[in-house]
Amino acid sequence: MKATFVRSYRKQETGNIVNVYAVSGSKAELEVFAETQGDNHVVDEKLNKPLWFSTRFVGDSVPLIITKNGKVVADTSEFDKAASLCEQYKGTALGTEMAKIMAERLLGNGSHSTPVQAPVQQPAEEDEE
Residue 46 shares a structural domain with residue 84: no
pLDDT at position 44: 97
Q: Are 33 and 1 in contact (CB under 8 A)?
A: yes
Classify residue 45: in a domain, yes or no. Answer: yes
3-class secondary-structure state, position 72: strand
Residue 52 shares a structural domain with residue 8: yes
Residue 85 shares a structural domain with residue 46: no
- What phi, psi does 64 have (nearest 5°)? -110, 145
Residue 72: which of 121, 106, 21 has the closest Cα?
21
Pick the residue with more confidence: 7 or 117? Answer: 7
Distance (Å, whole) CA 62 – CA 21: 9
Quick check: pTM over 0.85? Answer: no
Q: Are 9 and 17 in contact (CB under 8 A)?
A: yes
- What phi, psi does 88 have (nearest 5°)? -65, -30
pLDDT tens per residue across span 53-105 = 999 999 899 999 999 999 999 998 888 888 887 788 787 887 778 778 877 87
| Averaged pLDDT of the chain | 83
Q: Are 79 and 102 in contact (CB under 8 A)?
A: no
- Percent share of the chain, pLDDT over 70: 83
Concatenated DSSP letters of 72-96: EEE--HHHHHHHHHHHHTTTSHHHH
For residue 118, is pLDDT > 90?
Answer: no
Classify residue 127: in a domain, yes or no. Answer: no
Classify residue 44: in a domain, yes or no. Answer: yes
Q: Are 21 and 5 in contact (CB under 8 A)?
A: yes
Summarize the confidence of residues 31-44 as an average pLDDT: 96
pLDDT tens per residue across span 52-64 = 999 999 989 999 9
3-class secondary-structure state, position 110: coil
For residue 50, is pLDDT > 80?
Answer: yes
Domain span at residue 38?
Answer: 2-75
